[in-house]
Amino acid sequence: MSRLITYREALNEALAEEMERDEGVILMGEDIGVFNGAFKVTEGLHARFGAARVRDTPIAENTIVGMGIGAAMSGLRPVVEIMTINFSLLAFDQIVNHAAQVRAMFGGQVSVPLVLRMPQGGGHRLGATHSHSWEALFWHVPGLIVAVPSTAADAKGLLKAAIRSDDPVVFIEHEHLYAQRGEVADTGADDVGELGRAAVRRSGDDVTLIGVSRMAGTALAAAETLAAEHGVQADVLDPRTLRPLDLGTILASVRRTNRCVVVEEGWPTGGVGATLAALVGEHAFDHLDAPVARVTGADVPMPYAAELERAAVPDAAAVVRAALGTLRQA
């Protein structure tokens, strides 16, 4: 049995079920309690579980994350909400120098079972300080797990897995996805995802499309256009987590299709696509019939004007052009 629910509702269910299962799971963040969260992901949880477990915090990201790290090291399983990923910069020292390093610095004697939930991405006219995509920043850091779920089912399953993980997890939610509906299995507390396993969203033998976060849906839409209008069958992969990365599934696909296009909303320099292109080149160079292509967000601060913002975010047409470009180079 399954139900059709939104990405936002799936996240809310995951939080509620894990709080019911484990009294050590607590939530912290700005406006997540009485106000139910800026994006309403925590709606109803303050009333259901009380102020001691759903804590409204001051506007002080470095302090919030620091408190979460301390609580995690003391035996709790905190889930900290950063209102947007841009604000995580204010807590970067706590995330990179502490959450990610504690296990190694203490010789494995102390763990940090902490989840940092962060909405990100463009499309809502929130401007340059609220709309960027920074999964590449966190992917760079050893000691962190980085999840980028693109469907309601993965949002629920991977958040439950993140809460049960003994290592810190940066859990990135694209704001565009919150209202998107998807099938979610009706299996309750047992519906736990697997961190480090990519999903094959569509099968094909002509080109591999790798879409990250919201771009997994964009890649899928492009694949349907490629099939309908150009007779090209694309393999569409959704990594779901970047660290750990399911490189085996990616390489198996590229070795079959001999072409690869990476689609991300983040900036091109030092981005996810750059690293994936390097990995494919290092491990599957002899199988490539064309250079790995990248479709990225525009290399500019995210514009506020609606038309400019749309132009800064990759669309399916750009993915189609990139895929056809790799085929013309054969």
Active site annotation includes 130: yes
Distance CA 263, CA 155 (A): 20
Alpha carbon 135 to its chain centroid, in Å, reads 7
Report pLDDT digits (tens) over 101-153. Answer: 999 999 999 999 999 999 998 888 888 888 889 999 999 999 999 999 999 99
How many other C-beta atoms can be found within 10 angstroms of the C-beta atom of residue 275?
16
Distance CA 53, CA 34 (A): 12
List the structure tokens of 224: 């349907």
What does pTM read for this prediction? 0.96
Residue 229 has pLDDT above 60, yes or no: yes
Q: Which of 61, 175, 265, 309 is catalytic?
A: 61
Report pLDDT digits (tens) over 282-312. Answer: 999 999 999 999 999 999 999 999 999 999 9
Closest CA relative to residue 110, chosen from 162, 75, 161: 75
Closest CA relative to residue 207, chosen from 275, 288, 313, 264: 288
Q: Which of 98, 130, 132, 176 is catalytic?
A: 130
ω before 268 within 30° of 0 (cis)?
no
CA dihedral sign of residues 209, 210, 213, 215:
negative
Distance CA 320, CA 221 (A): 9
First-to-final CA distance of the chain: 45
Report pLDDT digits (tens) over 314-330. Answer: 999 999 999 999 998 65
Provide mean pLDDT across the span 271-285. 97
Distance CA 266, CA 313 (A): 9
